[in-house]
Structure 1
Amino acid sequence: MTHPELVLRAEQAVIGAALRDRQRLDDIAYLTPDRMAHPTHRALMAALIESRTSAPTASAAHLPELIAQRTAISGANADYLRRLADAAPQPRNIASYARMVQEAAVRRDLALHVDRLRTTAPGLRGPDPVLDRLAQAMRRTEQTVPVARINEPAPAPYEPRARTSGEQEVRVDVRLERQDAVLAELLQHPEQVREVGSWLYPEVFEEGPRREVYEAIVVVAERGEPVDQLTVEWEVYQQDPQAYEVTVEVNVEERPDYLARLAATAVVVGTAIDLSGEMMADDIRTKLATDFANTADVTARTPAAEPKTSLDVRTTTPTVRVEPAPLLQPPPVQQTPTIQPNVRP
């Protein structure tokens, strides 16, 4: 299922983007007001769609007052609608937010059908084991479906949890600060994802939220969707709904929203490439040092590798004895005959 808070944020992103640029509703003509989970959002969405024909010339500055008058919802006045518009991400990304809303609505419909089947035929197992397992999974997670009643107040516009004054910060090491800087730039400047994501593998990041956020950024970018705080957090939740905690401990008492902190971190465009190269170099050096240490430890512990004090090598094959070649002697010197004189007495 989908986290209720993320569903409300996606619906507010759609409404806020439409308030800032009403022409963007053409990009999400398939999204009808009944797909919204909260009744306030359903009424606001219907009023926005209707205003395109009843007040086509209304400007974005005057639109909050117009929608507030038509809906007359307690708590959803013009100031509330302006806060929705200010908190909304980029209007050009409205199609991605609408896809999230539609996905959550489909999951709610599935959960509703599962509940009806369970009520009409309790304990009856279906003939298809795959569908049976799907129904069981839906039952386990259906309590997270956001179901709002008509008398519920309008949900407050999303605001990242800010630190309170006096909180004691915990300094993280340089390695983690470098990882946070890379993630902050990729989140704020998604055009860097295509180059960095092609060679920077996720294992370079610390296991946990940092690695999950990087993997989500790469997946969202590969799908061709806009990379921002909401789309990345939605993808992080889809990766592991049971362990959904996009937070990193940076102070003693509380854990502010990690993605919001990354989105507000001051970065220099282009530093992600340099920092990523340094991270990979450090990771490779660490792995090489670990592999060398493990190899040396295994070699030292292997009895066969220990040197022997004496070697007793015996061979059973007879050794052929090779006689050395005789030394070459110089040729004999020929004796010159001595001629004796023939002396007669």
Structure 2
Amino acid sequence: MNPLMDAEQAVLGAVLLDPGQLSHLEWLTPDHFYRPVHRALFAALRKLRGDGHPAVEGEGPVPLSWVTDAVAEAGLRVRGLTASYAHILVSACPRPSHAPVYGRMVLEGAIHRTVAQHAIRLHQEARTGTLRGEVEGALHHADVLTGVLTDLARRWGTEPRPVAPAMSLATAPSALPPAQADRVAEDEAFLLTVLVERPGAMGEAVDWLRPGDFADPVHGQLYWCLGALHHRGEPLDRITLLWEAQRRGLLADGTLSEDRFAAICDGVGAGDAEWLGKQVMRSSITRTAAASARAVRALAEDETLVPGRLINHALHALGPLDEVRARWETAHGRPTPRAPSPALSPGGPPPARVHAALTRSTPRAAPSPADRLGPGPASAAARPPSRNHG
């Protein structure tokens, strides 16, 4: 049982039975269909309508040429489509007048697939960036995903805004490859050594570097201690750091061992704190991007989420990456790019959004009691909800 495939067949069957239903499906495109044969057939039906096929404006029973011409046109794009399958689609449609509802179901499936595909791309780019030490690709794909979510929200007829899901998603970063993990750990330890040994070095990174940017939790805790000392205006050296670590319980609970503390504080502290801090942030961005991408993909694969909630939860899942990115821009002295707020029309929501909402929620008039497969002739002012093939 596959409700999405049933919906795709039903909407195509509705249009084959009643070409006039295409006027209620302007917001549905061939790309919204999952099966290639369905995409090709819907594209063919739209093309026939655009070319002025007689079945679109004709009265009485739908001519059989509407089906045969659609199959022939779609056959130019995909193989394996036969007239017999078109008749299967017709039989799969309970009521042609319900085509907008079937189309909404197809659009829902397309939204879930689209969000999942872009989340996978973001995750792949984040992992590649981890290996190469680059963040531009991950940030670009994050922008693309945000743009896709915003566009999907408008197509669905809702406002894109971050909303936290009822149950928080696990977004713990995955383990780095051994070679990258060793390099990141060395950069973090070297940065801590510089911050301890070089006076004033903390001021070069404290405005934009946070404990959560460190891949090693111990390194993050030590940076937290250094930040507390800096905030209180107290001197920074190995003794004051050790005392602060003790006050925060890092020694009592075994978080910080004597050997690890000695390895950090006994190192050579000649280095550029700002450059090292940016190296730590590079790793933080790619790890955060990968975690956000996994969270968005998990949301997209949840079939119980309606598109509005999926989109808003996905935007919320990208929030941690936006926060890290803002600090990355601050570290480079660049203003943080802000997405423009959608302008509110003085006359109310945009007509396209209103139309999308009405398509989903407004009850349609009950179909004529006449048999949908054999209606009699009708006047131009009152067209029956479906017409059979004569």
Judge same fold: TM > 0.5, yes or no: no
**Whose relative contact order is higher, 1 or 2, with alpha carbons under 8 Å and at least 6 apart?**
2
Structure number with higher helix proportion: 2
Q: What is the TM-score normalised by the length of structure 2? A: 0.33
Larger Rg: 1
Q: What is the TM-score normalised by the length of structure 1? A: 0.37
